[in-house]
A and B are shown apart, each in its own frame.
Chain A
Amino acid sequence: MTEGRPLPASRGCRDAPVLKERGQREVFCGLTGIVWLHRKMPDAFFLVVGSRTCAHLLQAAAGVMIFAEPRFGTAILEEKDLAGMADAHEELDREVARLLSRRPDIRRLFLVGSCPSEVIRLDLARAAERLSRRHAPHVAVVNFSGSGIETTFTEGEDACLAAMVPGLPPAEGRELLLVGALPDVVEDQALRLLSGLGIGPVRVLPARRADGAPGVGPQTVYALTQPFLGATAAALDRRGARRIAAPFPFGEEGTTLWLRAIAAEFGVSDETFARVTDAPRARARKAVAAAAATLRGRSVFFLPDSQLEIPLARFLVRECGMEAVEVGSPYIHADLAGPDLDLLPAGPVISEGQDVDRQLDRVRAARPDLTVCGLGLANPLEAEGLTTKWAIELVFTPIHLYDQAGDLAQLFARPLRRRNLLRLEAAE
């Protein structure tokens, strides 16, 4: 084995009591995942069946609007759709037919449920079956819910991927499946590393193109690249696939442990592992060190956002020398988060769910050096003199694996460096 940092005494934060909170949540709903999922799947269209609020959310969350032929949209429910259900299905069929005739490049259509469509019990599963039959074989129609009453932010991706699993073809051979929508540049790095280790065939969910869908079967082993994919993992387990448990591949240590768990599964020798990973590990350490100088000894408070909080806290504490005050997550999958919790030294409050006003009281009491929070809270906290990092950037930016470890550390260091840089106060 290669050298590593010592494991914390006992089991880190694995057995720490979890502060469970219920109240107002300052988080996005699952529809937001469409913003990156549609980039990942260039032959897919995401059709939200919802309200003007859904359309407005997507527009606001996308920030600068990605304007060239957008591949997502909202079928906005109107008064007359709410009156009679049969009517809503007909309307949906009409809108889908119009959309597909205008966009022959669309091979996958996701009907995405929203809060209103769930509340009026619009059966999108039935609609997806019907539309799949009608538009087969050119277009496959799948449904999932990104509604705020059921999903928090990244759980939308989880629901999307989980919905794709039953439709994956069966596979007999022993294959590695990477699960999670990574930016192409990161996905390619992962494939290069695994190929260097002699591991293959490696398939990816979601596939970039409809015809590249991976198979799944009892010989499939899979590795999650994101910690929020609990439902997808359960769906894969139901297909007989087996999960490789590991910390998530953030930072040098996380990436090494993640790769090592996969390497162990495929019987890769220590020599091969060292040959393939030594150089990128050294690069990653060097890049992290540059930012760690800013971060070392500083305290960090995570408000719940994407479920990336636990692995990222582990990275910041163990590789950047930060001190975690509270690590909030919208939801904690005990199994998936376990390996990262093991590594996270005891100390921080681990919280699940949110009552935003109470949590902000704790932030104000702790006055952390860095608060990781959503866009709605960042400027108000800055105005109170707290330094913040927008959590959403952690989802939109490539941060996984060795060659992004430095970028990841820089994302947290930049707000602190900026604060030191500015000279805005009046002269004494």
Chain B
Amino acid sequence: MKLTVWTYEGPPHVGAMRVATGMEGLHFVLHAPQGDTYADLLFTMIERRDRRPPVTYTTFQARDLGGDTANLFRTACREAWERFRPEALIVGASCTAELIQDDPGGLAESMGLPVPVVALELPSYQRKENFGTDETFLRLVRALARPAARTPQVTANLIGPTALGFRHRDDVAEVTRLLAEMGIAVNVVAPLGARPCDIARLGAAHLNVLMYPEHGEAAARWMERELGQPYTKTVPIGVGATRAFLAEVSQLTGLPVRADTSRLRLPWWSRSVDSTYLTGKRVFVFGDGTHAMAAARVARDEIGFEVVGLGCYNREMARPVRALAKEFGLEALITDDYLEVEAAIERLAPELVLGTQMERHTAKRLGIPCAVISAPVHVQDFPARYAPQMGWEGANVLFDTFVHPLVMGLEEHLLHMFREDFEFHDAAGPSHHGARAPRSAAVGGPPPDAGASADAPRNPPAGRDAGAGVVWLPAAETELRKVPFFVRGKARRNTEAYAAERGIAEIGVETLYEAKAHYAR
């Protein structure tokens, strides 16, 4: 038993729903009590889908438990088939139905429905949503995909996009374009948009592009083994990863890399002088393994940030995330407890958080800028505009996404120059985020304690962490407040560390500047 408030992933049957809802012509009969239908609103509200998920819930009640819940399942199954006429059915149990052990798979098979019925095993008390997507898609592929002659032209399947996926819709478009530029057509995209009959012809492609290992790796491995299709290991998020991905595709297909980078802007945006201020900004990265690793690489190598924390919530990806963290000189944070992530963010006091909607909430509370880079996400992270994460346009989007929460370069420069000026006081925040400016700004003059509230709203201003036993003298505290807020946290930490190392008990103005000189880059 573990106390949980917010969860990064839903139960595995929600993963199965993401596969079913992404597909066409497939129906999911879920043995479940009333209330489990809440999951429909994830799709209709958060993703704004215009159709109900293709899911029939058996809706058993307490009074059915002693009786015939199995029959309830059969009835629901038959009615779903009659009403929706799907090409194939998947059947499974939610957490409660798992306990009553009605065996939906066996029941459905015995009904003799005229379409393939795929039974799902979704261990609700052991696994989670991403297991559910991966497992459901694997079962579908195993049941429906058959060896097939390869298409005359070189083609690829795009594997892994689902309903409720973070930017999956646009990633599919971007990757399709990348492949097209190399002369590779897409055979099938699955699960998103595929019909069961499309799953049957997966085997005609020359290779699989595994877009999201979280949702498609098991199926990609199976197809490699059973259908002889190699799959790509590189996820093309970021400029470097996209180039590596194209090289990998070239190696798998024998086709030369051909890339139209005329629409790629990240490298120049990063080299342009306004971006100088991004140098060494301390970022904390957390999300699903794939997106967290990609974001960390982009942050360090393509924007010039310093990655101070890296982790993921899905244990399935713990190994590669740990390896990458080690390469960054960090220890990976692998946890599905958002409070542990919050504690890490608080301890590291980064200048930017790249995370999920959980970290967005945490960062908001801590007063740290944040951008969302991974599921789980909320309605605002399903934009109307084209906003992929993958490929060249994805790289452009990442640049904007990472930089937008921060103060602009020129603006930071002005804050340095006029930091005592009322219009440029610390708490005013970036000028392009109107809602953040506190009202006190309007009356003129910096709020007397704007500094303390901006750098660590939830902590006493001095003497924490490194500073156990280290005291800030009032003059030094005042001087520290003159340091712009976006580097003040770093200045405070560095000074305290400097003092602690040297056994200095009281931090004066001199200590502050000695520490500054010591840590000067």
Bin the interface of chain B by size.
35 or more
With A24-B57, A148-B34 known as contacts, the answer to whether A377 contacts B52 (CB < 8 A) is: yes
Rounded to whole angstroms, the CA-CA distance of A82 and B100 in the bound complex is 12
Rounded to whole angstroms, the CA-CA distance of A147 and B36 in the bound complex is 10
Report A-chain residues with C-beta under 8 Å of the C-beta of B34: 25, 27, 29, 148-149, 152
Rounded to whole angstroms, the CA-CA distance of A382 and B52 in the bound complex is 11
Interface pair B35/A52, CB less than 8 Å apart: no
Interface pair B50/A380, CB less than 8 Å apart: yes
Rounded to whole angstroms, the CA-CA distance of A223 and B113 in the bound complex is 54
With A60-B39, A76-B1, A116-B96 known as contacts, the answer to whether A55 contacts B7 (CB < 8 A) is: yes
Most chain A C-beta atoms within 10 Å of own C-beta, residue among B4, B38, B48: B38
Q: How far is the CB of A109 from chain B (nearest CB, A)?
A: 12
From A57, A77, A82, A357, B38 is in contact (CB under 8 Å) with A57
Interface pair B52/A52, CB less than 8 Å apart: no
From A29, A56, A78, B33 is in contact (CB under 8 Å) with A29
Report B-chain residues with C-beta under 8 Å of the C-beta of A25: 34, 37, 57, 59
Interface pair B61/A57, CB less than 8 Å apart: no
Q: How far is the CB of B44 from chain A (nearest CB, A)?
A: 4
From B14, B35, B42, A115 is in contact (CB under 8 Å) with B35
Rounded to whole angstroms, the CA-CA distance of A75 and B100 in the bound complex is 20
Report B-chain residues with C-beta under 8 Å of the C-beta of A61: 38
Rounded to whole angstroms, the CA-CA distance of A24 and B45 in the bound complex is 20
- B99 proximal to A (CB < 8 A): yes
- B10 proximal to A (CB < 8 A): yes
Interface pair B36/A148, CB less than 8 Å apart: yes
Spot the interface stretch: B120-128, B153-161, B221-229, B419-427. B120-128
Closest to B53 in A: A376
Most chain A C-beta atoms within 10 Å of own C-beta, residue among B57, B95, B362, B364: B95
Q: How far is the CB of A118 from chain B (nearest CB, A)?
A: 7
Closest to B42 in A: A60
From A32, A56, A91, A98, B14 is in contact (CB under 8 Å) with A56
With A24-B57, A116-B95 known as contacts, the answer to whether A52 contacts B10 (CB < 8 A) is: yes
- A120 proximal to B (CB < 8 A): yes
Rounded to whole angstroms, the CA-CA distance of A228 and B225 in the bound complex is 57
- B416 proximal to A (CB < 8 A): no
Report A-chain residues with C-beta under 8 Å of the C-beta of B125: 51, 77-79, 81-82
- A150 proximal to B (CB < 8 A): yes
- A375 proximal to B (CB < 8 A): yes
Most chain A C-beta atoms within 10 Å of own C-beta, residue among B41, B65, B100, B362: B41
- A123 proximal to B (CB < 8 A): no
Interface pair B42/A55, CB less than 8 Å apart: no
- A65 proximal to B (CB < 8 A): yes
With A29-B34, A376-B40 known as contacts, the answer to whether A23 contacts B3 (CB < 8 A) is: no
Report B-chain residues with C-beta under 8 Å of the C-beta of A378: 44-45
Rounded to whole angstroms, the CA-CA distance of A124 and B36 in the bound complex is 22
Q: Encode A38-77 as 1/0 by CB contact (under 8 A) with B.
A: 0000000001010111011101110011011010111111
Q: How far is the CB of B157 from chain A (nearest CB, A)?
A: 29
Q: Encode B111-125 as 1/0 by CB contact (under 8 A) with A.
A: 000000000000111
Rounded to whole angstroms, the CA-CA distance of A115 and B57 in the bound complex is 15
- A374 proximal to B (CB < 8 A): yes
Interface pair A67/B49, CB less than 8 Å apart: no
Closest to A98 in B: B3
With A379-B48, A380-B51 known as contacts, the answer to whether A149 contacts B33 (CB < 8 A) is: yes
Report A-chain residues with C-beta under 8 Å of the C-beta of B76: 24
Bin the interface of chain A by size.
35 or more
- A28 proximal to B (CB < 8 A): yes
Interface pair B124/A52, CB less than 8 Å apart: yes
Report A-chain residues with C-beta under 8 Å of the C-beta of B44: 375-380
Interface residues of A in 182-231 (CB under 8 A from B): none
With A51-B95, A149-B60, A377-B52 known as contacts, the answer to whether A31 contacts B35 (CB < 8 A) is: yes
Rounded to whole angstroms, the CA-CA distance of A152 and B1 in the bound complex is 26
Rounded to whole angstroms, the CA-CA distance of A99 and B4 in the bound complex is 11
- B389 proximal to A (CB < 8 A): no
From B38, B94, B126, B378, A28 is in contact (CB under 8 Å) with B38
Closest to B127 in A: A52
Q: Encode B1-33 as 1/0 by CB contact (under 8 A) with A.
A: 111111101110110000000000000000001
- B271 proximal to A (CB < 8 A): no
Interface pair B52/A51, CB less than 8 Å apart: no
Rounded to whole angstroms, the CA-CA distance of A2 and B240 in the bound complex is 78
Q: Encode A14-29 as 1/0 by CB contact (under 8 A) with B.
A: 0000000001111111
- B83 proximal to A (CB < 8 A): yes
- B365 proximal to A (CB < 8 A): yes
Interface pair A383/B50, CB less than 8 Å apart: yes
With A59-B6, A149-B65 known as contacts, the answer to whether A27 contacts B37 (CB < 8 A) is: yes
Rounded to whole angstroms, the CA-CA distance of A380 and B52 in the bound complex is 6
- B443 proximal to A (CB < 8 A): no
Q: How far is the CB of B53 from chain A (nearest CB, A)?
A: 8
From B13, B56, B65, B378, A24 is in contact (CB under 8 Å) with B56
Rounded to whole angstroms, the CA-CA distance of A141 and B364 in the bound complex is 34
With A24-B57, A115-B35, A120-B99 known as contacts, the answer to whether A75 contacts B1 (CB < 8 A) is: yes
With A70-B5, A74-B4, A115-B33 known as contacts, the answer to whether A60 contacts B38 (CB < 8 A) is: yes
- B433 proximal to A (CB < 8 A): no
Interface pair A68/B365, CB less than 8 Å apart: yes
Rounded to whole angstroms, the CA-CA distance of A98 and B126 in the bound complex is 23
Q: How far is the CB of A270 from chain B (nearest CB, A)?
A: 46
Rounded to whole angstroms, the CA-CA distance of A60 and B164 in the bound complex is 13
Interface residues of B in 89-111 (CB under 8 A from A): 94-96, 99-100
From B7, B41, B61, B100, A374 is in contact (CB under 8 Å) with B41
- B62 proximal to A (CB < 8 A): yes
Rounded to whole angstroms, the CA-CA distance of A147 and B95 in the bound complex is 12
- A86 proximal to B (CB < 8 A): no
Q: Encode A143-156 as 1/0 by CB contact (under 8 A) with B.
A: 00001111010000
Most chain A C-beta atoms within 10 Å of own C-beta, residue among B5, B56, B362: B5
Interface pair A29/B35, CB less than 8 Å apart: yes
Report B-chain residues with C-beta under 8 Å of the C-beta of A27: 34-35, 37
Interface pair B100/A119, CB less than 8 Å apart: yes
Closest to B126 in A: A79
With A52-B11, A120-B99 known as contacts, the answer to whether A78 contacts B1 (CB < 8 A) is: yes
Rounded to whole angstroms, the CA-CA distance of A211 and B34 in the bound complex is 35
Q: How far is the CB of B3 from chain A (nearest CB, A)?
A: 5
Closest to B76 in A: A24
Rounded to whole angstroms, the CA-CA distance of A65 and B362 in the bound complex is 11
Rounded to whole angstroms, the CA-CA distance of A94 and B3 in the bound complex is 10
Q: How far is the CB of A38 from chain B (nearest CB, A)?
A: 12
Rounded to whole angstroms, the CA-CA distance of A116 and B1 in the bound complex is 13
- B413 proximal to A (CB < 8 A): no
Report B-chain residues with C-beta under 8 Å of the C-beta of A98: 3
Rounded to whole angstroms, the CA-CA distance of A120 and B98 in the bound complex is 11
Report A-chain residues with C-beta under 8 Å of the C-beta of B49: 379-380
- B258 proximal to A (CB < 8 A): no
Can you offer 6 A-B residue contacts whose CB atoms are under 8 A? A24-B76, A59-B6, A152-B34, A376-B40, A377-B44, A378-B44
Across the A-B interface, give the 4 residue pairs with the lowest CB-CB distance, nearest first.
A29-B35, A148-B35, A376-B40, A383-B50
Which A residues lie at the B interface, using CB under 8 A? 23-32, 47, 49, 51-53, 55-57, 59-61, 64-65, 67-68, 70, 72-79, 81-82, 88, 91-92, 94-95, 98-99, 115-116, 118-120, 147-150, 152, 357, 374-380, 382-383
Which B residues lie at the A interface, using CB under 8 A? 1-7, 9-11, 13-14, 33-42, 44-45, 48-52, 56-62, 65, 76, 79, 83, 94-96, 99-100, 123-126, 128, 357, 361-362, 364-365, 378
Q: Known contacts A56-B38, A76-B4, A147-B33; can you find 7 more A-B pairs with CB under 8 A?
A: A26-B40, A52-B10, A88-B1, A91-B1, A95-B3, A374-B41, A376-B38
